[in-house]
Chains A and B, each alone.
Chain A
Amino acid sequence: MKTIQVSVVTPDGPVFEGNAKMVSAKAKSGELGVLPGHIPLVAPLTISAVRVHDVDGKTQYVAVSGGFIEVRPEKVTILAEAAEVAGDIEVDRARAAKERAEKRLAGNKQDNVDATRAEFALKRAINRIDIAAKR
């Protein structure tokens, strides 16, 4: 069977490397499924899970904090500022981050920059908690 190489890279180093028969991700414009031989494509991602369907029919989940996906016929590269494989997510830390963000959101309504930042932090935390539950 044809497979496609997948790598998830962050500034702190590669997070995930492997082969898959399909990769699905949530781009800003909607769900995106990539099979081997896909035309070259670049798309920004939302804070979401990237699903890597590997050759033995298992699905691996990788949490990404946005970034973008670069597709080539034989390779998919996902570049995100932060990413974690489901198995590596520390749920306690994600919960703590979620609480922190919620508190901050409840605390200040007037400061726009902080509120947006807290909102993103909250989204990331929820995303990580959700994905951790799937492992």
Chain B
Amino acid sequence: MALRDIKARIDSTKKTMQITKAMEMVSAAKLNRAEQNAKSFGPYVDKIQEVVGSIASGSNAKHSMLLTRPVKKTGYFVVTADRGLAGAYNSNVLRHVYRTIQQRHKSPDEYALIVIGKVGVNFFKSRKMSILDSITGVADQPSFAEIKAIASKAVSLYADGTFDELYMYYNHFVSAIQSDLTEKKLLPLTDIAETKSKSSYEYEPSEDEILEVLLPQYAESLIYGALLDAKAAEHASRMTAMRNATDNANELIGQLTLSYNRERQAAITQEITEIVGGVAALE
């Protein structure tokens, strides 16, 4: 390679590195905020869980959202990002969901998809799988109001019998370098009875009427919680991906600089040889 070409490549790699480094730092800041959001959400979901648990375990209240019914159609709630450049973040979830659907269902009538994020929407569209509802352009720090519509739609689709169970797929944030793909059965709410609660309450007006209000609110809050979790995982995996890219760029620049110097030295040596050769020919 000519000297000039190597120089050009070094320059362009340096520019790329600047960008990846900036993106890494931005993601790190966003991750911080996302973790805070998840923390401020904690008290809400804990409380609601406690109350739901005490009603569901302490009584024989029967609500359609608590009861398992024969499954004719399964709902899948998939959380992805709007953009790529986040390592295996999106493909992990999508590949798993795709495979699960292929295994469990024979015809498209047996499942329904609800998707968050542009990447997921495009993925299923390109495979000609119909999407029941989707939302894109969710903010990096989503507020509850933003996803309220899709969450309550998912819950009401279960309530009106469009599907008989609802699974949720997202990346659970573990640490800055690790996130785990999570499959969670959201509806019916079967795991509530296990949560033991310490207090027993009076119900005004009645348990059933409270469950009517409480359970949808609880299910929606679970969806929101999963989204916050997934957002944290997204920022973390984007940060990691960008850090790797920066490291790779650094390494590449090192190699290129080495070959640049070699090439330059070779050119100088050749020039000297030519001069010496010329002088020798004159003598």
Which residues in A have some Cβ–Cβ distance to B below 8 Å?
9-14, 27-29, 32, 39-44, 66-68, 70, 72, 77, 79, 81-82
User: Are A81 and B209 CB-contacts (below 8 A) given A11-B41, A13-B40, A32-B204?
Assistant: no
A42→B202 contact, CB < 8 A: yes
User: Are A28 and B205 CB-contacts (below 8 A) given A42-B210, A68-B210?
Assistant: yes
For the complex of A and B, 8 pairs with smallest distance between CB atoms: A13-B40, A11-B144, A43-B204, A44-B213, A29-B205, A40-B201, A42-B201, A41-B202
A77→B201 contact, CB < 8 A: no
In the complex, A28→B203 CA distance in Å? Answer: 12
A41→B204 contact, CB < 8 A: yes
Which residues in B have some Cβ–Cβ distance to A below 8 Å?
37, 40-41, 43-45, 47-48, 51, 55, 143-145, 148, 199-205, 209-210, 212-214, 217, 220-221, 224-225
B40→A43 contact, CB < 8 A: no
Nearest-Cβ distance from residue B216 to partner chain A, whole angstroms: 10
Q: Which of A13, A41, A43 contacts B41 (CB 8 A)?
A: A13
Q: Which of B44, B199, B209, B212 contacts A11 (CB 8 A)?
A: B44
In the complex, A9→B202 CA distance in Å? Answer: 21
User: Are A11 and B224 CB-contacts (below 8 A) given A40-B200, A43-B203?
Assistant: yes
Given contact pairs A72-B199, A79-B217, enumerate 13 new A-B contacts (beta carbons under 8 Å).
A12-B37, A13-B41, A13-B43, A32-B204, A39-B202, A41-B201, A42-B202, A43-B203, A67-B213, A68-B213, A70-B201, A77-B47, A82-B145
- Residue of B with least CB distance to A72: B199
In the complex, A67→B210 CA distance in Å? Answer: 10
Give the residues in chain A near B199, CB-CB below 8 Å.
40, 72
Give the residues in chain B near A29, CB-CB below 8 Å.
204-205
In the complex, A14→B205 CA distance in Å? Answer: 26
In the complex, A81→B209 CA distance in Å? Answer: 18
B214→A68 contact, CB < 8 A: yes
In the complex, A12→B148 CA distance in Å? Answer: 12
In the complex, A29→B45 CA distance in Å? Answer: 25
- Residue of B with least CB distance to A117: B149
Nearest-Cβ distance from residue A14 to partner chain B, whole angstroms: 7
B40→A40 contact, CB < 8 A: no
Q: Which of B40, B200, B203 contacts A12 (CB 8 A)?
A: B40
Give the residues in chain A near B201, CB-CB below 8 Å.
40-42, 70
In the complex, A15→B32 CA distance in Å? Answer: 21
A9→B44 contact, CB < 8 A: yes
Give the residues in chain A near B145, CB-CB below 8 Å.
82
B44→A79 contact, CB < 8 A: yes
User: Are A12 and B143 CB-contacts (below 8 A) given A28-B209, A39-B202, A66-B213?
Assistant: yes
Give the residues in chain B near A81, CB-CB below 8 Å.
144, 148, 217, 220
- Residue of A with least CB distance to B145: A82
B204→A27 contact, CB < 8 A: yes
In the complex, A110→B221 CA distance in Å? Answer: 30
Nearest-Cβ distance from residue A61 to partner chain B, whole angstroms: 21
- Residue of A with least CB distance to B54: A42
A44→B210 contact, CB < 8 A: yes
- Residue of A with least CB distance to B206: A29
6 contacts between A and B (CB under 8 A): A12-B37, A40-B202, A41-B201, A43-B205, A44-B213, A81-B144
In the complex, A61→B55 CA distance in Å? Answer: 29
Give the residues in chain A near B37, CB-CB below 8 Å.
12-13
- Residue of A with least CB distance to B200: A40
Q: Which of B51, B144, B225 contacts A82 (CB 8 A)?
A: B144
Give the residues in chain A near B225, CB-CB below 8 Å.
11
- Residue of A with least CB distance to B42: A13
